[in-house]
Amino acid sequence: MALSRLSSRSNTFLKPAITALPSSIRRHVSTDSSPITIETAVPFTSHLCESPSRSVETSSEEILAFFRDMARMRRMEIAADSLYKAKLIRGFCHLYDGQEALAVGMEAAITKKDAIITSYRDHCTFIGRGGKLVDAFSELMGRKTGCSHGKGGSMHFYKKDASFYGGHGIVGAQIPLGCGLAFAQKYNKDEAVTFALYGDGAANQGQLFEALNISALWDLPAILVCENNHYGMGTATWRSAKSPAYFKRGDYVPGLKVDGMDALAVKQACKFAKEHALKNGPIILEMDTYRYHGHSMSDPGSTYRTRDEISGVRQVRDPIERVRKLLLTHDIATEKELKDMEKEIRKEVDDAVAQAKESPIPDASELFTNMYVKDCGVESFGADRKELKVTLP
Ligand SMILES: Cc1ncc(C[n+]2csc(CCOP(=O)(O)OP(=O)(O)O)c2C)c(N)n1
Ligand SMILES: [Mg+2]
């Protein structure tokens, strides 16, 4: 079973291929962008294409940024958990802790001209695109200053100026939308690609195969990223998928299986996929990852998997701890420096929560705006078709 393989993995991860930091430049690393090459611990597995090199070019500056960005995402999700329990966040709320390497690794390989579209598990993707913590918390609490003006909530974050197209609640619906974005990019000769993210559960949806067909037929620059966190709600992949080799399930579409808990491997795969997609059309990236929280806030996440399984992944594969180890073994930062950074992040998150709480809730007059194209004259009725009748603005 996939998960026993995961937990038994050795933790000799991220072995350095070259240790290129002379001792004289080991401090002041946050501004050091000189190249370091790190070899990924887990090889890529490919389907109908070559594999990218396991030697990933990076820098102390980038590794430190991975640490800071992932620690910020983790802290944000923990704060969201508390706000939900305090009933300040209502409705659905799906957390991303455990999967952070995907959000940071992907961003390290692409630009804001490249589009991203994802499912309801979207908080960290928004932050990765450059979204502000305060905009995220405001949205979560339904406030006016939220990234969707408080109307979307947890599942519908957007960031138009960074080509982030949401935040979608219908499982798999973002896949054909993402392929449509890729169609527009090709049509407009943008030289950009779209990353459409979906889960292992969504991978069983028919619309994935329809979208793949037309994308492959028209060589669209679509990168379909299956975030295989091994569960769709409470259903393990071995119970839902005849073939759990999601990277191969595009049949005639090339694919790559990637250690999705390793930010550097994710970056390497996304860089490879972007070059491939611009030249040849779609590709599937299966990211082997794990979510620590339950499916959503209403799921304790411990009835269909053991606590030992969760703590095993935390101990051996945690994306933040891997980067911490890398920073320490390469003498890029000390334990104290990293702890201090985490303290600063905690304060940054607390301040953003406090600021978001100050934001007002949207006006009642906003109830019917941003729903339809303006001036269509569409009428909306209440349940009895009498009490509430309004012509949409
Ligand atoms: C069309 C549709 N069917 C069912 C649901 C209910 N539902 C919400 S999330 C989910 C599981 C999806 O799992 P996966 O694709 O693995 O994504 P993950 O939550 O693990 O990120 C289901 C069945 C839905 N939102 N939409
Ligand atoms: Mg899943």
**Predicted local distance difference test score (pLDDT) of residue 235:** 98
Cβ of 202 closer than 6 Å to ligand 1, yes or no, is yes
Which residues are registered as beta bridge partners of 235? 232
**Are residues 97 and 67 in contact, defined by beta-carbon separation less than 8 angstroms?**
no
State how far the Cα of 139 lies from the Cα of 308, in Å rounded to an integer.
34
**Are residues 215 and 282 in contact, defined by beta-carbon separation less than 8 angstroms?**
yes
Beta-sheet strand order (sheet of 115-117): 45-47, 255-259, 283-288, 222-228, 194-199, 115-117
Tokens for 16, please give them: 């350095």
**Predicted local distance difference test score (pLDDT) of residue 57:** 98
Tokens for 339, please give them: 């702890």
Tokens for 279, please give them: 């030249």
**Predicted local distance difference test score (pLDDT) of residue 368:** 83
Q: Which residue intervals of 229-318 are DSSP H helices? A: 237-240, 263-280, 307-317
Output the CA angle 283-101-26, nearest 5 degrees. 120
**What are the strands, taking DSSP E only, across 12-54?**
35-39, 45-47
**Predicted local distance difference test score (pLDDT) of residue 385:** 67
CA of 279 to the centre of ligand 2 (A): 30
pLDDT averaged over 10-residue windows placed end to end, the chain, 393 residues: 34 38 44 89 98 98 98 98 98 98 98 98 98 98 97 97 98 98 98 98 98 98 98 98 98 98 98 98 98 97 97 98 97 97 98 98 89 73 70 70
Ligand in closest contact with the CA of 231: 2
Cβ of 98 closer than 6 Å to ligand 1, yes or no, is no
**Predicted local distance difference test score (pLDDT) of residue 386:** 67
Q: Are strands 222-228 and 283-288 parallel, antiparallel or unpaired?
A: parallel
Which residues are registered as beta bridge partners of 389? 381
Amino acid at site 2: A
Cβ of 200 closer than 6 Å to ligand 1, yes or no, is yes
**Predicted local distance difference test score (pLDDT) of residue 387:** 65
CA of 203 to the centre of ligand 1 (A): 10
**What are the strands, taking DSSP E only, across the chain?**
35-39, 45-47, 55-59, 115-117, 194-199, 222-228, 231-232, 235-236, 255-259, 283-288, 379-381, 389-391
Cβ of 232 closer than 6 Å to ligand 1, yes or no, is yes
**295 labelled ligand-binding:** yes
Of the candidates 226, 131, 244, 107, the residue with the CA atom closest to the CA atom of residue 178:
226
343: left (phi over 0), alpha (psi -120 to 50) or beta: alpha
**What are the strands, taking DSSP E only, across 82-148?**
115-117
**121 labelled ligand-binding:** yes
Overall fold of domain 35-362: Rossmann fold (3.40.50)
**200 labelled ligand-binding:** yes
Which atom in ligand 1 lies closest to the alpha carbon of residue 119? 21
Domain ranges within the chain, ordered by starting residue: 35-362, 364-392
**Predicted local distance difference test score (pLDDT) of residue 382:** 74
Cβ of 231 closer than 6 Å to ligand 1, yes or no, is yes
**96 labelled ligand-binding:** no
**202 labelled ligand-binding:** yes
Ligand in closest contact with the CA of 120: 1
Q: Which residues lie at CB < 5 A from ion ligand 2?
A: 199-200, 229, 232
Whole-number CA gyration radius for the chain: 21
CA of 346 to the centre of ligand 1 (A): 31
State how far the Cα of 215 lies from the Cα of 221, in Å rounded to an integer.
8
Cβ of 169 closer than 6 Å to ligand 1, yes or no, is yes
**Are residues 92 and 122 in contact, defined by beta-carbon separation less than 8 angstroms?**
no
Angle in degrees, 0-180, between the axes of helices 335-358 and 133-140, rounded to the nearest 10: 50
